[in-house]
Structure 1
Amino acid sequence: MISVVIAAHNEAAVIGRCLDGLLAPDLDITVVANGCTDDTAAVAASRPGVRVVDRPEPGKSAALNAGDAVAVGFPRVYLDADIPLTADDVRALAAFLTSTPGLLAVTASRKLDTRGRPLLVRAHSAINGRLPVYRNALYGRGISMLSEEGRARFGAFPEVVADDLFLDGLFGPGEKAETPAVVAVVETPRRTSDLVRRLARVRAGNAALRAAGAARPAARSSWLRDVVLPRPWLLPAAVGYVALTFAASRAARRSQVGWGHDSSTRTSVGVSQ
């Protein structure tokens, strides 16, 4: 049986939609509500067959560990609450994982949703969405699936912000891959200020892992070498990308960054609860 673990902090607006697509008798689903001040746990508990762990303390790593402690099957999926996948998507990921020799971890292809976003958010996404660093990587899309052997690569999730980068660093190029058969739609922030905060959080988390030697060094010039130079028409977008990257770098240095999420993309409009 495939197990799905969802660490959810104040996700009442989106957790219902996430779970409704996953409900199936062959999926073991655990939602770990952590430090919630909304109805995340109640919404999750209203879905039949969903196991809910309600922790008073916030913290994604501890929530993932709590979910692992009660999950019963493999492959093991770690899913963000704002990534809408279906049970068929999860089965397709499992089929890809089990049918491809050498693979220990798989993920979905990544699509950035920029509809109705401000110009600077769309500019950043135009560059970020083409960066080769995301190819076959386990980060940046809110979904990772590990085989039982892959999960045995580590014990507990460490106290880090970038849990997906941590997972990615555990596997070599031939051990992880993405499949075009499943697409994870990533909601980009609806406000430029929210994008800066998200980027600052990501930069701080990545820097902490790299300082500990748990992640590969950043390819800082890839946006120019691999994206803009082959596509000169992206130069205007690159100006916005660089400006936002600089702003996020300053923000990451100024403040202590913990696990959080972009509230601008969490909306209950059109979402069942």
Structure 2
Amino acid sequence: MHAHPNLHGLPAANVVPLASPAFPSIPSDGGFAGCVPCQLRQECIAACMARSARRSAGQLLIGRRRVRKGECLYREGQPFRFVYAVRYGTLKTAFSLDDGDEQVSGFFFAGELIGLEGLARGRHVSHAVALEDSEVCCIPYEEMARLPAAGSAPAPAVRLAQLVSSELVRDQAAKAIAALRQADPRVAAFLLMLSGRMRERGLSGSEFELRMSRAEIGSYLGLTLESVSRAFASFAVQGWIEVHKRSVRVLSWGPLERLCLPALSAVQDRQVPGVDRERESACVTGARTRTRSAPLRCATPVSA
């Protein structure tokens, strides 16, 4: 077994060798045994690399790391060696300002890649923190870039380029939101963008849990905590959403869309085709009669 770089403190026992004689149970669907229970394996770049490594008789070491809530996955200035695929949980990226404050630059959910900003300069220009107990797959970038395509699937480097493109689309949406002049349209656009990202994972875009705080949302949107809280309260009073602590249920999409109309096309480009948002939202409008203390279903699969 060849040597591999240190996985930022990851115990060696958690480094999983793909396509090696000691790890023969690679399923016919192209994944590897560690990915079998993962619902994201069909789209995950780690599974794509497992197929490539197996077909090329090569070997790729992928580490799996658990990151507790509040723990850093990587820090500013740390050398870029790995791309991280979020297996479950939610993380944020942020960077330090000259006055010592923190600027939130992104939120990342299951199935998304984090750490790509380090590719340009060879060092991370932000730090990543878990907003809840999470787990990531640590993918060594240099080894991944050398893997060939596996059958009809694109080469891992091509797949990575596609995911980088998705990240650029997200950045474009964030800039479109920042261009909105008032707080309420920015918060409405944020909810629309978040809804689209939930749907990409086959989850409900009409009810979800906000793992980030109001202050973190405000930092991302360029707003104060008070402005974000007032926007949520205003939407709730008008009957557009229902809020219980960090759980949000969207009851009416039309007013939110009209509110952020200048940025609507940017934040909706990522929606999943074939999902009728108004019909989905109608399925939960009966929730108006529930009490505020009733448990909310978060990230529930959208029925066909």
TM-score bin, normalised by smaller chain: 0.3 to 0.5
Higher RCO structure (Cα 8 Å, ≥6 apart): 1
User: Looking at CA atoms only, which structure, 1 or 2, has the larger radius of gyration?
Assistant: 2
**Structure with more helix by fraction:** 1
